[in-house]
Amino acid sequence: MSSAETGKTTAPTSTDVIRIPYADERGRRPSLADVRNIGIMAHIDAGKTTVTERILFYSGRIHRTGEVHDGAATMDHMKEEQERGITITSAATNTRWKGCEFNIIDTPGHVDFTAEVERSLRVLDGAVAVFDAQAGVEPQSETVWRQANRYNVPRICFLNKMDKAGADFDNAVKSIRERLGARAFPIQYPIGQANDFRGIIDILENTAFMYDEESQGKNWHVIDIPEELRAKVKQLRHEIVEAAAESDDALLERYLAGEELHRDDLLAGIRKGVLTGNIVPVLCGSALRNKGVQRLMDAVCYYLPCPLDITEIVGEHPITGERIVRRPDVDEPLSALAFKTVSDKNGDLYFVRVYSGKIEQGMQLWNATRSKRERVGRLVLMHAAEREAIDELRAGRIGAVVGFKDTFTGDTLCMKDDPILLESMQFPETVISMAIHPKSRGDRDKLGEALTRLAKEDPTFRAFTDGETGDTIIAGMGELHLEVLVSRLLNEYRLDCEVGRPKVAYRQTLKRECDIEGKHVKQSGGRGQFGVARVRVTITEDTENTFESSVVGGTVPKEYVKSISDGLMWGCDEGYPLGFPFVKLHFDLYDGKYHEVDSSEMAFKEAGRLVMRNAVEKIGVDILEPWMKVAITAPEVNLGDVLGSLNQRRGQVDRTEAGSGDAMRIFGHVPLAEMFKYAEVLRGMSQGRGVYSMEPFEYRKVPESIAEKIRKDVETERAARRK
């Protein structure tokens, strides 16, 4: 490319423009071929936001870089993000690079905000996975990689922080292959590592680049590949050439015939491999030190998919369930997905991915998920917190709508006379909660509205009222999650509130399977109430409760079956006797009784609820607690103390492995109840060098001694409330 020959990156010229081969059935090149909807994903502190900042800088979207550690990064625009130096909510932006239009979503790395990654990956076409070159694959790296696998998102890898002490390119690539199961192939190799990191070798071009430190990475010069690295580069080039050839039958035939594959052949072959998931290219650099980001941007253009690569958008008819297929074409009927909501004083924003058709300002849309009409007030493109007004949003694009009233995360938008329902998103259950008390009557009124807004923004946040005490309870994914939400209530909504201590979200299940009858009979003059339900209850591994009806002979009329199901789920949510919701239950309604006059939906709903009450009285309950998957990094000298601390917390250590330098990594599972304030404990025993991360794993039965203490605590709380 001309920029490499001159040693500078300048405004793109015609020779700079990157064009992947793409033509429609008429031989025309559609504009969507040059669109890249991508996400930047990684473990916390791997450098995602800094990478995004440099992409915006080199593409000319911003004219000076802001650093995360200074609270000045463009994409970290929330006050809580700037204060903590972490990304909390996914932020969208757009820019252009050498003929390609980038729509970028910068996602959080902390596990408490994993829902932000989930809903972003649901609508993105490709992703850049950023890794710390010193740490390699970290716990949250695995989580976001699994999320990308779930949605079949093609990705490329960028080993960031090659200048960091302990950086090891080969080890990082090895960890990607072994721990993520990815077919990772380096297409670049570093010249030097850690303090000695000076430049990058392009394996495909057999060329080395050295960066000018004074030019913020805008200038570089070409050198010969250092002698000591030539054998390594030759080996890596052989591997990627072979992988590229295997991705395309025509290339493979030429390769096996002994023909040399040139750069353009390799680009096409690698791209095919990326789209199928058989090749994951690995690049390297240091975003903070302005090395390697432009070539990462080139790789996004070359290898990651455009909207046209998603040839079919599959959904179903919201009423008939019939399979419907749409193509990424503006002339197709509209199909779009709302994937994020942001409360804003200038009008709530609803982030939307348009898969087919187009959305225009002022249009009347149909929310197929909720059977509601919606009107498009305004359309905007987002650049972090800034808005750019547009007239329409066409197939393949991502933007935001102002003006919706009844739309939530995961809802499908279409036209009422041509409806479609797209696959929505699933989010994990909350594992931690706390009570929140407004100090004044005025704050009490404002609190409800604020919690409703936060719950609409964040699908992993719940707010509800304790039925016994009347307390307002907020629940989320972890201590940091709730801490940030409380901070937003205090700062954004100007509420004066007191918060209780965080509490574990315990669950209950029945001790064993059983056959139970629920009977609701009342007669008080006039029409009575009569409903009898006989239900077989079994214990399952799935946390979600399920229901089926095997009633034969009309002992329970069909119109009352749903009422019994609703009553059972009501009883599960009620959580008698301890107030913890029931999980892992399957209900089979096999018999019952009804009365021609006195039976009603309400009577059978109450009968279903009584099934749960009677089951508890008959066979008792087991208390379940959330267990977390935990990963700890600490100096080897402190390994014994860390293992001892986990044992004290009822933890189970699965494995330990050597990290970089003198660090050790410990992987295991621990009850959430034992991990409050663990960060302080870990820092104390490791002289401030230990770090850890957790994510929800599963619910397990609480030991009887602890279960008895939980029961006593519940009774003590209830007695205190009665006083």
Reduced 3-state DSSP string for 90-105: CEEEEEEECCEEEEEE
pTM of the prediction? 0.79
Both tokens of 147, joined, read 């999320």
The pLDDT score that the predictor gives to residue 27 is 65
- Dihedral angle over CA of 398, 403, 409, 415, nearest 10: -70
The per-residue pLDDT for range 556-575, each reduced to its tens digit, is: 999 999 999 999 999 999 99
202, 208 contact by CB (below 8 A): yes
The pLDDT score that the predictor gives to residue 18 is 66
Please state, as a whole number, how many other Cβ atoms lie within 10 Å of the Cβ of residue 271: 23
Tracing tokens 């909207």 back to the chain, one arrives at 307
Nearest by Cα to 459 from 481, 480, 434: 481
The whole-angstrom separation of Cα 197 and Cα 133 is 12
Residue 443, helix vs strand vs coil: helix
User: Distance from first CA to last CA of the chain, Å, rounded?
Assistant: 79
Q: What does R_g of the chain's alpha carbons equal in angstroms?
A: 29
The pLDDT score that the predictor gives to residue 67 is 60
The pLDDT score that the predictor gives to residue 9 is 39
420, 368 contact by CB (below 8 A): yes
The pLDDT score that the predictor gives to residue 90 is 76
Burial class (CB in 10 A: 0-12, 13-18, 19+), 680: exposed
Pick out the chain residues at pLDDT < 50.
Answer: 1-15, 69
